[in-house]
């Protein structure tokens, strides 16, 4: 789990602002759900035989209430189950489909490594109550647009269709038969999954099983007309916007709840943890966790991984500095200086006050205050000199461009604010 301090946190804010702007343009509205949920929600939602539920959740038994019943709770390992629970609990789809997004911390007890943490953050989007392929496509385009706005390069889109449950069932039988016929080549993990979740064997990272997985029966060959048509329409919409993709028949995603379209955005630049965003359609999840059946599509991207790419590709935005740094030679001037700074801030000026580390030492010399002003990155120093203040004036001095200091009357802070906010010749 990581601490995120400045200047790193400025990157997070920059990304969050981009996300909010894009979500607003695409009509996705913000949803916030609790960090803790009943463990059963994730067991029902994600599937019992998934890595997350089997071994990665932070789960605990709550204190017993008066009747002696204790809740089994878990820190959320992902966002969709909680959103779906909230939507059902509030009958939120009563008047039609909804588009939602969140930015939130998630928790998985995985082996920490680059791009893999135990508390990490996801931005997720969910479109609930819409069945058509245009929504699958909209979701993919939405994520794609985020990469454009951030400036990410070399992110590839992988697509697959998992079909409908009955199509998967027929494929599953074929898959079990195939793996059984080749049982001597299966590793322990695969043997364990053979009957519980054979589809996941296709996802194996074991190099010795790659060939076996590649030759396995393809789900695509078991899809019916409706599923194929759905998938084709998704691709037609992407194609019309010049979005490129690769079909990856082995893309099955780690969670059980998907059907029809599934997708991932992958980067080569991140080593083994190259998936930055994953998602798909989950038409049966809402009913599965006890809500009224409704179709849905969603994705989530990992903030840490996207920021890793942002740094890797040197897209880091310039640090935000204050516009003005207030130099106060004598502490007696602080009440007046701070009142003026409050007024300037209300007018939209970002202002930083000089503060001393040790009040017994006073405010520090002019020279040391100017040194700090310089280090703050501010364009201007606002000097609250004792003599000037006595005349009802402050001095504005440019720190990063040529020019003399100019005196402004305290009674005319509009002019002062306007000067600070004016474009400065570099
Ligand atoms: P998932 O919910 O597993 O499909 O994950 C969606 C995205 O969240 C992934 O593509 C990653 O970018 C990110 N992610 C998942 N697990 C972690 C983790 N342990 N640490 C950092 N990012 C993660």
Distance of CA 396 to the CA centre of its chain: 41
Domain boundaries, the chain: 8-163+223-312, 324-425
199 pLDDT band (50/70/90 cuts)? confident
Backbone angles phi, psi at 101, to 5 degrees: -145, 160
Collect all residues with Cβ–Cβ distance below 8 Å to 7 and sequence separation of at least 6: 319
The model's pLDDT over 62-95, given as tens digits with 9 standing for 90+, comes to 999 888 899 999 999 999 999 999 999 999 999 9
Q: In this structure, what token pair is assigned to residue 189?
A: 């993990």
pTM above 0.95, yes or no: no
The model's pLDDT over 358-376, given as tens digits with 9 standing for 90+, comes to 877 889 999 999 999 999 9
Q: How far apart are CA 166 and CA 400, in angstroms?
A: 68
Q: Which atom of ligand 1 is nearest to the CA of 253?
A: 4
Which CATH homologous superfamily contains domain 8-163+223-312? Bira Bifunctional Protein; Domain 2 (3.30.930.10)
Q: How far apart are CA 80 and CA 118, in angstroms?
A: 18
Q: According to the model, what pLDDT value does residue 254 have? A: 64
Q: Which one of 84, 122, 297, 304 would you pick to mutate in the ligand 1 pocket, going by the greatest count of ligand atoms within 8 A of its CB?
A: 122
Q: How far apart are CA 371 and CA 284, in angstroms?
A: 62
Residues with CB under 6 A from ligand 1: 78, 108, 110, 115-117, 120, 122, 254, 275-278, 300-302, 304-305
Q: Do residues 303 and 121 make contact, with C-beta atoms less than 8 angstroms apart? A: yes
Mean pLDDT to the nearest integer, 387-403: 95
Question: Bridge-partner residues for 277, per DSSP?
Answer: 265, 301
425 pLDDT band (50/70/90 cuts)? very low
Q: In this structure, what token pair is assigned to residue 233?
A: 């329409």
Collect all residues with Cβ–Cβ distance below 8 Å to 161 and sequence separation of at least 6: 219, 220, 223, 227, 228, 230, 231, 260, 261, 262
Residue 33 CB: number of other CB atoms within 10 A?
A: 19
Backbone angles phi, psi at 30, to 5 degrees: -75, 135
Q: How far apart are CA 415 and CA 426, in angstroms?
A: 21
Backbone angles phi, psi at 425, to 5 degrees: -70, 125
Q: Dump strand ranges (E) for 162-309.
A: 246-247, 259-267, 275-281, 296-302
Q: In this structure, what token pair is assigned to residue 23?
A: 């979500």
Mean pLDDT to the nearest integer, 380-405: 96
How far does the chain reach from its first CA to its final CA, in angstroms? 42
- State how far the alpha carbon of 425 is from the alpha carbons of 379, 402, 403, 422, in Å: 11, 9, 10, 9
Q: How far apart are CA 79 and CA 201, in angstroms?
A: 25
Q: Which atom of ligand 1 is nearest to the CA of 277?
A: 10
Backbone angles phi, psi at 329, to 5 degrees: -65, -35
Tell me which residue has its CA closest to atom 21 in ligand 1.
Answer: 116
Q: How far apart are CA 129 and CA 92, in angstroms?
A: 10
Ligand 1 centre and the CA of 420: distance in Å?
A: 43
108 marked as binding residue:
yes
228: left (phi over 0), alpha (psi -120 to 50) or beta: alpha
The model's pLDDT over 253-308, given as tens digits with 9 standing for 90+, comes to 766 678 999 999 999 888 888 999 999 999 999 999 989 999 999 999 999 999 99
Q: Which one of 56, 300, 307 would you pick to mutate in the ligand 1 pocket, going by the greatest count of ligand atoms within 8 A of its CB?
A: 300
Q: Identify the DSSP state of 113.
A: B
Assess whether the previous peptide bond of 7 is cis (omega < 30° from 0): yes
> Does the domain at residues 324-425 carry the CATH identifier 3.40.50.800?
yes
Q: In this structure, what token pair is assigned to residue 100?
A: 């939602």
Residue in this structure with the two tokens 């029809």, named with its chain if needed: 260
Q: How far apart are CA 394 and CA 116, in angstroms?
A: 52
Look at 167-181, 187-201, 343-357, 393-407 and tell me which has the smallest mean pLDDT. 187-201
Angle, nearest 10°, between helix axes 413-421 and 334-346?
Answer: 60
Q: Which one of 106, 270, 274, 309 would you pick to mutate in the ligand 1 pocket, going by the greatest count of ligand atoms within 8 A of its CB?
A: 106
Mean pLDDT of the chain: 94
Q: In this structure, what token pair is assigned to residue 197?
A: 């979740």
311 pLDDT band (50/70/90 cuts)? very high
């Amino acid at each position: 789990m990581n601490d995120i301090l400045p200047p790193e946190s400025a990157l997070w804010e920059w990304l969050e602002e981009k996300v909010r702007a894009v979500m607003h343009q695409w009509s996705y509205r913000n949803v916030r759900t609790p960090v803790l949920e009943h463990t059963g929600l994730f067991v029902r939602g994600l599937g019992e035989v998934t890595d997350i539920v089997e071994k990665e959740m932070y789960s605990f038994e709550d204190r017993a209430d008066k009747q002696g019943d204790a809740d089994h709770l878990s820190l959320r390992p992902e966002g969709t189950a909680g959103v779906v629970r909230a939507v059902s609990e509030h009958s939120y789809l009563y008047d039609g489909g909804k588009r939602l997004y969140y930015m939130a911390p998630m928790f998985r007890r995985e082996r920490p490594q680059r791009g893999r943490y135990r508390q990490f953050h996801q931005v997720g989007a969910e479109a609930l109550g819409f069945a058509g392929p245009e929504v699958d496509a909209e979701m993919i385009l939405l994520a794609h647009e985020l990469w454009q706005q951030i400036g990410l390069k070399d992110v590839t889109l992988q697509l697959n269709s998992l079909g409908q449950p009955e199509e998967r069932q027929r494929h599953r039988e074929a898959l079990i038969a195939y793996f059984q016929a080749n049982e001597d080549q299966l590793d322990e993990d695969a043997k364990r999954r053979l009957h519980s979740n054979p589809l996941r064997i296709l996802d194996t990272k074991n190099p010795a099983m790659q060939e076996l997985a590649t030759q396995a029966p393809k789900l695509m060959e078991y899809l019916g007309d409706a599923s194929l048509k759905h998938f084709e329409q998704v691709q037609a919409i992407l194609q019309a916007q010049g979005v490129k993709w690769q079909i990856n028949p082995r893309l099955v995603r780690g969670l059980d709840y998907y059907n029809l379209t599934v997708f991932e955005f992958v980067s080569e630049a991140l080593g083994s943890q190259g998936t930055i965003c994953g998602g798909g359609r989950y038409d049966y999840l809402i009913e599965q966790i006890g809500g009224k059946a409704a179709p849905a599509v969603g994705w989530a991207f990992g903030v840490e991984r996207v920021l890793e790419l942002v740094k890797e590709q040197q897209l880091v935005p310039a640090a935000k500095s204050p516009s003005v740094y207030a130099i106060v030679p004598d502490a007696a001037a602080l009440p007046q200086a701070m009142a003026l700074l409050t007024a300037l801030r209300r007018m939209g000026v970002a202002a930083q006050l000089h503060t001393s580390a040790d009040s017994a030492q006073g405010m520090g010399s002019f020279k040391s205050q100017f040194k700090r002003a310089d280090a703050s990155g501010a364009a201007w120093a606002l000097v609250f000199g004792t003599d000037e203040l006595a005349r009802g004036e402050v001095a504005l001095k440019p720190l990063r461009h040529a020019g003399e200091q100019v005196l402004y009357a305290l009674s005319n802070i509009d002019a002062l604010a306007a000067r600070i906010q004016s474009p400065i010749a570099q």
